[in-house]
Chains A and B, each alone.
Chain A
């Protein structure tokens, strides 16, 4: 750990083990501009915006320079100012100028930086023709014309998610970020978590908007439009309206949705409670039978797709429970529509989610009936904020309203679902009581809380120890599964959420850069839990009522039909051996048919075709290489065919086949 002091623009700064100058300079209350520096990603050093002047060293990038005792740093010399301007101008020149219509307008870091540095003109030339925009996935839009090649998306996909669906291709000014072979995102291993969009400083990757479909549904007179709100939304949307991260605005959200014209507003936390009951029953049954352990959670659609792609062998270990979003969809379309006395097509279910992958999940074919999806439309926290802004609602001063019953009633267990560790904790609150037969007094399982990418806890319930692992970020899941395979680790229950911090860090949430925002949101959800009367899903009276009236026994047949799902292997190549190279050994037998004018006139083409067909039919393609070639200079004796070293003149299809057979036999 480096100790000592540095001087930043004349101010003395104490070093306390900062990893780089950039972080040390922040302590002088100076925010250097950067595009590519993220404290939770590796240092990339590509944007060159954080260049500072260090006495004796000259210009150095602050992000990749370790602080040393006694350094004298200047951050605002004429040279630095000019360089920053040049960099931003260079980026602007190659960036599409469509700021007013860009999804990232007002949250774009390039735009903000241009303003901050007082860029009045761009002295450089614009880039060539527009590149196509990828709108192939239900979750994300990738517009390479807005890409500044900071590599944040590439690193988050590789380092946090362990996937690497996108990477750099080409060199020089042709360099670009793309999926393999420039395929669309829907054709590669992207799990639609959207973390790339979360870190993208510009509008090059953004969540795919669906607001227009919601507006349209709200206009439909004969359609009942209802909303479900995911737990994580309530502690984040306020950021969009100037509130501190973590501020709970549940009442304002409900009020806003009502103003927008939603007939009922429900809480996904209600079906989270339902998930807890179903999923923990399933877990208890597995523990009792001692099979399919560890049980992996299944509420994160990014993780589910990841498991389907990379670990089909683990699919039976995933809980078969639908996610809370989809449980809500099932209950709404199967139960609520009946209560209203309308067909399911006339009930329009809108989810408000912190997540981009939920858009994909809602479109999975198993979550629809006769072409009508259980959840009709998924919008993100950001999109809801846009709708509120568009309608001109003064969000912060709206009179709070309450959720509608019955699906608006939840316990604290359903609320903490939005945090990494929350699903595990909610399940433990259920399992502890069920397995011990004793009422659970202290509901807070702090051992499963925290921020590490992979966390472990051992919870003792009566005489049984439950080994729990909590993972956020799929790279952590990759690591954990590898350790399990090697026998280095063993668990009973594994919670996986694709996004850092869990749903509160989802890509649909308001844009943030500082990871402390996630901690504040997580704290907000735990406080919500504290404020609620009930903390255990099994105590939710409306859940119990739902089982009594409709679903029957938890984990029973009816509940299973409505609340559980199945998974499919998405591994594109499975268990087949593929011949990548020819087995070493003899090269193919070369067959050449002369196509020179003389031979051609004498019927070489016919011989060639007959021979090629013969090779094809007899399955000899891997032994014989047939080619047309030019003049063997025996024009009067054509057609001439060469099989291996042997030259056959006046060749007919029959003689050719016979000679080929001989030649092949000789090789053996």
Chain B
């Protein structure tokens, strides 16, 4: 239901003070992380259990902050980032964070931390480095070493409660933009802030806006690109799930700056929770009069649609995304014309990434100049990364630009681990940054301050912000192949170089990994990769060869070992590995023979065993089984 009249300053103030009054009745707050990771681990069951236990103990539970009575407020939040340790439960005001909470733990938490002010030590995060129990985010290194700016409220506020967002000064920046600033001023503030697009390219957002603003015509669009498709990336999902109003506010400000009256939030359909929360936020915004025909009484309207993408990676490319909104096959179109000139339905269009838009209100609130002081000179601000791979702590993090890889890997991620998850102090090999379109960073880059430009200069990119840490057991040729397979599957098939080029690069990598290659194969691979990089139609194609080119650049010796010695240094390429048993080390315990799924290992008990190479499928079960390190690969 649209509001009867537009929201105004008074409305925002009243909403905030009402919220303040209501929250004064909250004696304690229990926040359950309801990000996708924690939900998958059962956090919604915990929510029910908390309500049950509180009722049992006759403690009044507040589920919606509308009540007159005092009580314990139990709320859900968006992703808090520490996904590996989920489900996460936070108790306020003590700021205790419990990790890996299960249903049977709830009663104890209520008893000790809700009814009283104690702590359940066993549920606290234990720092693997020191063994110390960390009580809250201030003590957990994963959080303490981050700078959560865009994600600040993500994971504390209730994403489905507009009033809590407003209480945190939400929509104040939009009101300023509509009531106190001209469109040109908003654009110039964005330019001054130096904000660069977080979707991958790093194009200055202010310039994009200004280009769109100066286009003639009454009809313009703002699109939020939430088609996050990189394997292992979930930054945008977390923002949409955890703080959907911040995205809407960013879009409102953008609409003001460029003169748009309609917008689309394009969310990939695999993010049902993000879709649901965005839809609810839009509906709430309309009901409150924040969105509507006359935003903040400015006379300018803004209609916002939430649209589900059909799950193609390429739809994250802006021209393909717009084709998809128009109901066409998601295929990129040549630029120029740029979306700013002729975008959605041929109208001038700004298309920004979720994280970029969520940053916008914060810039207006703190001032563009202040914002520009964060991060590095060329890349101001902070960046969200999805941290995965061989590290102790995986999850969603936010750091200022200029942070080094070493700080992230060692301090936030808690160090590199081996394949079994144990800390491996000198196990670091590389980081794949920027997803399948990015490149790899090696030990030599550990102390390089990371930003858009420094990464580009070494053949990598910020990309959308995936960070996959790899230990020394990783085959870099295999990694290149993994990403190539992804881009080949996801290539839209339009331009020859991407469609056929990625297929052939994949075939050449297979040749290398399966022992059919010569050095000429590698040279052809490189030539082809360069042609695809230079000649492809869209960003997906242009960056598809990056994993190949960057692994070739930093790990040429691994490629050489594969083609010249037919050896995979990491022992990962099955075709190049042959297993044998060191007779001197073998005790004849028969364990390996019993584990072998194809009965390739024979030998009498107590005597050295042997492997029949013809039968062996190189699954590695014997290596894992052997307690005497007698099986060699």
Point out residues on A near B: beta carbons under 8 Å.
Answer: 43-48, 51, 58-59, 61, 63-66, 79, 82-83, 86-87, 90-91, 93-94, 123-125, 148-149, 151, 167-168, 170-176
Contact = CB atoms under 8 A, between A and B. Distances in A.
Contact of A91 (B314, B489, B490, B496): B496
A82 B334 CA distance: 22
B30 interface: no
Nearest 8 A-B pairs (CB), nearest first? A175-B493, A64-B334, A45-B334, A90-B500, A173-B503, A172-B491, A86-B531, A124-B504
A46 B494 contact: yes
Interface in B125-154: none
Interface string B377-405: 00000000000000000000000000000
5 contacts: A48-B537, A64-B336, A83-B535, A90-B500, A90-B501
Interface string B453-496: 00000000000000000000000000000000000111111111
A48 B497 CA distance: 7
A338 B64 CA distance: 95
Nearest to B313: A171
A58 B314 CA distance: 24
Contact of B499 (A58, A64, A83, A149): A149
Contact size range, B: 20 to 34
A123 B524 contact: yes
B312 A171 contact: yes
A63 B334 CA distance: 9
Given A90-B497, A125-B507, A148-B496, A171 B536 contact: no
Contacts of B329: 167-168
Given A167-B329, A172-B490, A172-B502, A83 B495 contact: no
A174 B489 CA distance: 8
A46 B503 contact: no
A61 B489 CA distance: 25
Given A46-B496, A173-B503, 8 more contacts: A48-B535, A59-B535, A79-B534, A90-B501, A149-B494, A149-B499, A151-B494, A171-B493
B500 A46 contact: no
Contacts of B492: 171, 175
A172 B336 contact: no
Contacts of A58: 534
Contacts of A66: 336
B528 interface: yes
Contact of A82 (B489, B491, B503, B531): B531
A87 B496 contact: yes
B333 A172 contact: no
Interface string B514-535: 0000000000100110010011
Given A48-B496, A123-B524, A167-B329, A173 B488 contact: yes
Interface in B308-346: 312, 314, 329, 331, 333-336
Contacts of A174: 493
A521 B604 CA distance: 89
Nearest to A173: B503
A65 B507 contact: no
Contact of B504 (A63, A90, A148, A168): A90
A43 B333 CA distance: 9
Interface in B179-235: none
B489 A172 contact: yes
A83 to B, nearest CB: 5
A175 B491 CA distance: 9
B534 A83 contact: yes
A174 B492 CA distance: 9
B59 to A, nearest CB: 34
B489 A171 contact: yes
A90 B499 CA distance: 9
A401 to B, nearest CB: 49
A43 B334 contact: yes
Contacts of A91: 496, 500
Contacts of B537: 45-46, 48, 61
A90 B496 contact: yes
A82 to B, nearest CB: 7
B497 A87 contact: yes
B504 A170 contact: no
Q: Which of B496, B531, B535, B536 has the most chain A CB atoms inside 10 A of its CB? A: B496
B334 A61 contact: yes
A58 B501 CA distance: 20
A175 B535 contact: no
Contacts of B535: 48, 51, 59, 83, 87
A168 to B, nearest CB: 6
Contacts of A86: 497, 501, 527-528, 531
B265 to A, nearest CB: 24
Contact of B495 (A48, A168, A171, A176): A48
A32 B500 CA distance: 21
Residue among B329, B499, B502, B536 with most chain A CB within 10 A = B499
A170 to B, nearest CB: 7
A256 B331 CA distance: 49
Nearest to A87: B496
Contacts of A43: 334
B612 to A, nearest CB: 32
Contacts of A125: 504, 507
Contacts of A61: 334, 537
Contacts of A90: 496-497, 500-501, 504
B139 to A, nearest CB: 47
Nearest to B505: A124
B500 A173 contact: yes
Contact of B534 (A59, A124, A173): A59
Contact of B491 (A47, A83, A168, A171): A171
A168 B331 contact: yes
Given A45-B495, A46-B496, A90-B497, A83 B503 contact: no
B64 to A, nearest CB: 28
Interface in B518-570: 524, 527-528, 531, 534-537
Contacts of A172: 488-491, 493, 499, 502-503
Contacts of A87: 496-497, 531, 535
Nearest to B506: A173
A598 to B, nearest CB: 32
A278 B528 CA distance: 64
A383 to B, nearest CB: 31
Contact of B490 (A45, A65, A148, A171): A171
B514 to A, nearest CB: 13
A125 B488 CA distance: 15
B300 to A, nearest CB: 32
B330 to A, nearest CB: 9
B527 A82 contact: yes
Contacts of A149: 493-494, 496, 499
A48 B489 CA distance: 20
Give the most central of A44, A65, A176: most B CB within 10 Å.
Answer: A44
A172 B331 CA distance: 11
B499 A175 contact: yes
A238 to B, nearest CB: 35
Nearest to A47: B496
Nearest to B312: A171
A525 to B, nearest CB: 38
- Most B C-beta atoms less than 10 A away, residue of A43, A58, A90, A151: A90
A79 B534 CA distance: 10
Interface centre among B490, B491, B527, B531 (most CB of A within 10 A): B531
A144 to B, nearest CB: 13
Contacts of A176: 493
A281 B526 CA distance: 72
Contacts of A93: 500, 504
Taking each of A59, A61, A65, A171, which has the highest tally of chain B beta carbons within 10 Å of its own beta carbon? A171
Given A124-B504, A170-B493, A45 B531 contact: no
A530 to B, nearest CB: 45
Contact of B536 (A48, A151, A175): A48
Given A86-B531, A87-B535, A168-B331, A173 B499 contact: yes
